[in-house]
């Protein structure tokens, strides 16, 4: 297994769990982790135990803007549980405060095969603007995001030529959905010559992971009928709690704008409009309120209609289903990048490595 | 979608159905089809309707040796239902008799992006020897097989360097199992950090496809406890019928030597010995005797044990589940080849294109 070095932008739930999962994978070395407060870099490999312990609970769910202000600490910081004097990643003895943590990573980009963007997407053009910074900075490795919103893919496609010229392989939508479940849909579609529908229905029980995943919950709330990404961004922690209370802790989502649709259309599997994503989020239990299932219905060449299904065991947490695939797609992306394949690639086109 | 030309070696059940399925896929042009009797070539695209109609029932289940005798007609030809004077593909007005159909294809290899080896594997080194012919002939495109036996992968790996030097991308095990189901297992494994077991259990109902798939049935019989590939090869059609009768038309297979095991090990998913393949074949009904299911059991990074599953609808025939993926992997292989990635690649590493 070839050696792969990677950095994590963002030390919230996804970033932290990805670091944790990477310890169980051969040949994967985390060499940098940053949040808006600072940067930890060690090319011998970060001490993940120390970093996770030092930043335990240091989740910053304040929707500031890392892309434009370079990650400088912003005003309120509500949601950052401090651990001593230092905020965020700086609580780790491996980290130093920084005015521009993204620049820190880009400046060392030659030794970093891949960068996982584990940042909540509070603005539609947030991830694309982070990509711009890597483009401007002359990075030529792999960028991986776990973005959700369909409209972001078009913004990345607008940068396709620039990414190709720069030698960047951008793996987009590399979490659970979009991600693992998009890939499962693309695979399940192979039995058919025409796809009628792809239904992705997820269940997440998040009691013990709630603290770590407030950013994800905020993003999910933006999918509710009465909210959008702007209004969700403006919600205080207390307002989010009130919404959770209103739903007795279990929130149902229908017709979510998840990029599975455009990623499947992009791969030629079906029209985006044939894809529906919905789910049930329970923040008061670790039990999943429903079994995460992908159902692909289509017609075979011999005229039969059928539904192939992919099911995740209820025992597999959201974290397991996001972070394993994120690292799998990261490794697959590095392989593509080394082979000289640049531009935007999605989970319906790429088999993640184990 | 980039245009892809392809050839099919073998006009038995798999070869014929692949031609049929390709008509439903955009950008895929079948330009050559051959069997041991002759070759049909047309770079404007074969007339698949004519070819299938002319060769209807022309299935040659005689286990001769295309690799060494260049496809020259061998003695008995039992199992070839003739359609007029001509045998096999030569019954089509697009085909001409040939002493060496593989050579015919190799000689025109520059215009053929991919070659599907749709030949039953009556000897362990059969597919590797066909690969040798393409290597010797200077072919530099994609070879795709739907082989089953684990031990063949090692023989292909022995040729890895030669394939890389020649510029050949060899996609091995690109049918249903190994193939689609191997890929599903690799994907399902992403939730876990350690895999305990991969169980592939298939169901095939083959009444209406029995005539077309005698070669596949013969290969399957070689997996029964009292048989091996040599003894199965020596069975007459009447002896095969007697075995089918003994099992009342439904044959159960356990611990089959299917290459899913080594292909998953090769991709780093698990040890080959953790993979089991079995199935139920009913040649007297088109209903599947059991639902084809892949079950991947493992442990997550957060210490939970679970089983992710992938299920094919009972309405999807073996043909749909072999030939759709075969073409999907063929297209994915062509993309890799054009990007300069050569050597041996399996379905646990490659997402098929739709």
Give the number of A-B residue pairs with CB atoms closer than 8 Å. Answer: 182
Per-residue pLDDT at B233: 86
- Residues 6 or more apart whose CB falls under 8 angstroms from that of A119 comprise A9, A10, A12, A66, A126, A127, A130
Averaged pLDDT of chain A: 90
Confidence label for B74 from pLDDT (cuts 50, 70 and 90): very low
The pLDDT value recorded for residue B2 is 77
Give the separation between CA B20 and CA B30, rounded to whole angstroms: 10
Q: Rounded distance, CA B259 to CA B307, Å? A: 22
Instruction: Give tens-digit pLDDT for B177-197.
Output: 999 999 999 999 999 999 999
Residue B5: CB atoms within 10 Å: 19
Indicate yes or no: CB of B186 within 8 angstroms of CB of A319: no
Is the Cβ of A191 closer than 8 Å to some Cβ of chain B?
A: yes
What positions of A carry a catalytic annotation?
A: 148, 219, 223
- Is it the case that residue A65 has pLDDT exceeding 90? no
pLDDT band at A63 (very low <50, low <70, confident <90, very high): low
Q: What CATH fold (topology level) applies to the domain A4-176+319-345?
A: Rossmann fold (3.40.50)
Asked if residue B58 has pLDDT above 80, the reply is no
Q: What is the pLDDT of residues B11-46, one digit of tens each?
A: 888 899 999 999 999 999 999 999 989 999 999 999
Mean pLDDT along residues B249-261: 94
Predicted confidence band at B124 (pLDDT cuts at 50, 70, 90)? confident
User: How far apart (Å, rounded) are the C-alpha atoms in residues A114 and A98?
Assistant: 21
B324 closest CB neighbour out of A24, A190, A310: A190
Residue whose C-alpha is closest to residue B170's, from B247, B266, B81, B250? B266
- Asked whether residue B347 carries a pLDDT value surpassing 80, the answer given is yes
List A309's β-bridge partners, or say none.
A295, B311
Give phi and psi for A230, each to the nearest 5: -70, -50
pLDDT at B65: 46
Where is B175: in which H helix or E strand? none
Checking if the pLDDT of B54 tops 50, the result is yes
Confirm if B153 and B259 have CB atoms less than 8 A apart.
Answer: yes
Minimum CA–CA partner of A176 in chain B: B191
- CATH second-level architecture of B192-313? 2-Layer Sandwich (3.30)
pLDDT-based confidence at B169, cuts 50/70/90?
A: very high
What was the ipTM of the complex prediction? 0.92
Mean pLDDT of A27-38: 95
Domain boundaries in chain A?
4-176+319-345, 180-314
Instruction: Report the mean per-residue pLDDT for chain B.
Output: 90
Angle in degrees, CA A4, A7, A8, rounded to 5: 130
**Which of B209, B268, B301 should we substitute to test contact with A (largest number of A Cβ atoms within 10 Å)?**
B301
Distance from C-alpha of A112 to C-alpha of A31, rounded to nearest angstrom: 7
Give, for B256, the enclosing helix (H) or strand (E): none
Kindly determine whether residue A189 and residue B354, on different chains, have CB atoms separated by under 8 Å: yes
> What is the average per-residue pLDDT within A191-214?
91
Chain B residue numbers touching A304 (CB-CB < 8 A): 315-317, 320
Residue A253 forms contact with B (CB below 8 Å): no
Q: Among A176-180, B72-76, B96-100, B245-249, where is mean pLDDT lowest?
A: B72-76
Q: Which of B186, B191, B325 sits opposite A316 (nearest CB)?
A: B191
Q: Which of A280, A320, A166, A147 is nearest to B190 (CA)?
A: A320
Is pLDDT larger for residue A2 or for residue A349?
A349
Nearest to B267 among A25, A26, A354 (CB): A354
Q: Does residue B277 sit at the A interface (CB-CB below 8 Å)?
A: no
Q: Is the pLDDT of residue B72 over 50?
A: no
Nearest to B265, CA basis, from B204, B337, B346, B192:
B346
Residue B339 has pLDDT above 50, yes or no: yes
Confirm or reject CATH 3.50.30.30 for domain B4-177+319-345, answering yes or no.
Answer: no
Task: Using pLDDT thresholds of 50, 70 and 90, give the confidence band for residue A81.
Answer: very low
B293: number of CA atoms within 13 Å, CB side?
A: 11
- Out of B37, B148, B258, B288, the active site residue is B148
Residue A106 has what DSSP assignment?
H
pLDDT above 70 coverage of chain A, percent: 90
A269 to chain B: closest CA residue: B354
Question: CB distance from B316 to chain A under 8 Å?
Answer: yes
């Amino acid at each position: 297994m070839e050696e792969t070095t990677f950095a994590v932008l963002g030390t919230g739930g996804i970033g932290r769990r990805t670091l944790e999962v990477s310890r169980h994978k051969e040949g994967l070395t985390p060499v940098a982790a940053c949040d808006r407060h600072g940067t930890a870099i060690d090319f011998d490999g970060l001490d993940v135990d120390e970093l996770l312990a030092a930043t335990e609970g240091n989740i910053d769910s304040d929707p500031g803007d890392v892309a434009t202000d370079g990650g400088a600490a912003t005003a309120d910081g509500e949601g950052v549980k401090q651990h001593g004097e230092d905020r965020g990643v700086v609580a780790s003895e491996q980290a130093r405060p920084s005015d521009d943590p993204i620049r820190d990573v880009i400046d060392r980009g030659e030794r970093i095969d891949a960068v996982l963007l584990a940042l909540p997407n509070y603005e539609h053009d947030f991830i694309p603007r982070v990509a711009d910074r890597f483009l401007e900075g002359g990075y030529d490795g792999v960028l991986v995001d776990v973005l959700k919103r369909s409209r972001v893919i078009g913004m990345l496609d607008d940068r396709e030529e620039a990414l190709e010229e720069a030698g960047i392989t951008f793996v987009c939508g590399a979490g659970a959905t979009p991600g693992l479940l998009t890939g499962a849909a693309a695979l399940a579609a192979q039995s058919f010559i025409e796809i009628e529908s792809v239904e992705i229905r997820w269940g997440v029980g998040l009691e013990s992971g709630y603290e770590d995943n407030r950013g994800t919950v905020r993003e999910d709330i933006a999918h509710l009928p009465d909210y959008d990404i702007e209004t969700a961004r403006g919600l205080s922690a207390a307002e989010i709690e009130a919404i959770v209370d209103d739903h007795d802790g279990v929130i149902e989502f229908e017709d979510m704008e998840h990029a599975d649709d455009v990623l499947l259309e992009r791969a030629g599997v079906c029209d985006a409009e044939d894809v529906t994503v919905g789910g049930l989020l329970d923040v008061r239990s670790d039990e999943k309120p429903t079994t995460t299932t992908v159902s692909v219905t289509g017609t075979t060449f011999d005229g039969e209609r059928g539904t192939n299904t992919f099911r995740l065991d209820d025992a597999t947490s959201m974290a397991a289903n996001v972070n394993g695939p994120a690292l799998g797609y990261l490794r697959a992306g590095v392989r593509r990048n080394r082979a000289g394949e640049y531009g935007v690639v999605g989970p319906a086109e790429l088999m993640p490595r184990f």
